[in-house]
A and B are shown apart, each in its own frame.
Chain A
Amino acid sequence: DSGVTQTPKHLITATGQRVTLRCSPRSGDLSVYWYQQSLDQGLQFLIQYYNGEERAKGNILERFSAQQFPDLHSELNLSSLELGDSALYFCASSASATDVAQYFGPGTRLLVL
């Protein structure tokens, strides 16, 4: 158990819908990362927040957005969902913005029908 929590564990929704994934980092960690893992694209970095501010951005679609709140939890919002958005979404955290080790949560499995 990494100490990172994610909810929900599973999510089934329809195309065109919007969902919100939630992540709580390890106690004391200020940085949160979001990753998408799919069979065809592998494990891809989406975005990083550090102490409430966006720090790095990867291949995140415009339909996706994220934020980190004052209590350091983070939410990833996915809108206008498409079949291809079906994937495992991981949140990870680290103490600082540049820590070598990132600690991953159990993930949210999203299925878009």
Chain B
Amino acid sequence: GQSLEQPSEVTAVEGAIVQINCTYQTSGFYGLSWYQQHDGGAPTFLSYNALDGLEETGRFSSFLSRSDSYGYLLLQELQMKDSASYFCAVRDRGNAGNMLTFGGGTRLMVKP
């Protein structure tokens, strides 16, 4: 089976940088995705890493180390609107389709 671990809660101030870590255990591995979910809203796709290294998309970056079964989401120049839950998710080789297994989510609180 698959399991993912991420911190349950992170707090940071506006304008700062925050890193949300995710470690995973899976029998096979295609890649690591990140989703954002605001309270009462739907998950929104942020990024995907299939290979080792850093992927940058505006203020958000995502990193993957396959050898360490570890990834992180980096949020820069934090804004109040970034307060949300962030989920890492893996798709592994065991699936014929596109099944995602999600971590428990990290609740990010951005303070003024």
Contact = CB atoms under 8 A, between A and B. Distances in A.
Interface of A: 2, 31, 33, 42-45, 48, 50, 55-58, 90, 92, 94, 97-107
Interface of B: 31, 33, 41-45, 48, 50, 87, 95-105
A31 B44 contact: no
A100 B47 CA distance: 9
Tell me the dominant secondary structure on chain B's binding face: loop
Given A42-B105, A43-B105, A56 B48 contact: no
Contacts, number: 59
Contacts of A104: 42-44
Tell me the dominant secondary structure on chain A's binding face: strand
Contacts of B101: 45
Contact of A42 (B33, B41, B50, B102): B102
Contacts of B48: 100-101
A72 to B, nearest CB: 16
Contact of A48 (B41, B87, B99): B99
Contact of A102 (B45, B50, B103, B105): B45
Contacts of B97: 48, 50, 55-56, 97-98
Contacts of B33: 100-101
